[in-house]
Amino acid sequence: MSDDDKPGTPKDRHYARLRRAHRDRQAGPRPGAMPRPRPGSVQVEPPPPGLVRLYGLHTVRAAIDNPKRRIKSLLATRNALARLGFSEADKHPFPFEVVEPRAIDKLVGPDAVHQGAVIEVEPMSTRRLSDLAGANLLLVLDQVTDPHNVGAIMRSAVAFGVDALITTARHSPAESGVLAKAASGALEHIDHIEVRNLADALGELHAAGFHTIGLDSDGEAELEASFDGARIALVLGAEGKGLRQKTRETVSALARLDMPGPIRSLNVSNAAAVSLYAARRHLAGTRK
């Protein structure tokens, strides 16, 4: 046995420290202890109460162009300000400030792709199911929680002319910079409805003449064969667990996307885009 393998050697003490560090990580921080920042890390400042920070050029430009959006302030680098079509001499109904990129890092985090622009806004107000007069295509999300996925779904929904996005009040992401960046401006172009009980909401949609279709990999029929009527609501569940049982029992039909390849499932945002394309083709046929 070498000296390094004997108890009490530097090697033993090194591994003992590693074991203690692992136990500490498993146990988590002590009650009341403040997290220690990593060396060189940027401490992100939370937004003021009641406000949301949106970032990225497309997101910020779309928010500015939305007359319904209440804007409190804009911070941008000189380059980003120019790309947004502003000059420092311009007057705007909201205050703006020219800053260095690091100042924006402190507001949204150094990993956020902010492109030199961040805007503080009030969250958009949600709509009600009773506001859907004249709507013919809806997208319903059953506890899809990932803001990247929901943002990407919003982008597809706007591209295919969805009249409203319906989500559950719980287990759905709140409006945020991450969601808005993934939506690439779509957040400003789609009505959003939050419901407390999804099964009850689906019942209201049925009473309003909507044919609700739940996307399920084990659905008996292909999606294209499941469309019926001139008012369609597509219902998608979270990745992994899919639609909840109550939702499966409540929708008008369960349908699958026919995928002949070796991979039999899609990311929920991709499934939404494919489904919306098919729904739009069906609705176009009902108007002929």
Please check whether residues 192 and 269 belong to one and the same domain: yes
Please check whether residues 277 and 150 belong to one and the same domain: yes
Strand pairing category for 191-195 and 232-237: unpaired
Full pLDDT tens readout for the chain, 288 residues: 444 444 567 666 666 676 666 666 555 555 444 445 454 556 788 899 999 999 999 999 999 999 999 999 999 999 999 999 888 777 778 898 999 999 999 999 989 999 999 999 999 999 999 999 999 999 999 999 999 999 999 999 999 999 999 999 999 999 999 999 999 999 999 999 999 999 999 999 999 999 999 999 888 899 999 999 999 999 999 888 899 999 999 999 999 998 888 887 889 999 999 999 999 999 998 876
Please check whether residues 152 and 262 belong to one and the same domain: yes
The answer to whether residue 23 is domain-embedded is no
Sheet with 96-98, side-by-side order of all strands = 52-55, 117-121, 71-76, 96-98
Please check whether residues 66 and 161 belong to one and the same domain: no
The answer to whether residue 117 is domain-embedded is yes
Please check whether residues 143 and 99 belong to one and the same domain: no
Please check whether residues 275 and 157 belong to one and the same domain: yes
Total domains in the chain come to 2
Please check whether residues 276 and 162 belong to one and the same domain: yes
Could you say which of 74, 105, 121 is where a domain stops?
Answer: 121
Q: By residue range, what is the domain housing residue 264?
A: 129-286
pTM of the model: 0.82
Residue with tokens 């997290």: 35
Could you say which of 104, 121, 138 is where a domain stops?
Answer: 121
The answer to whether residue 44 is domain-embedded is no
Please check whether residues 64 and 186 belong to one and the same domain: no
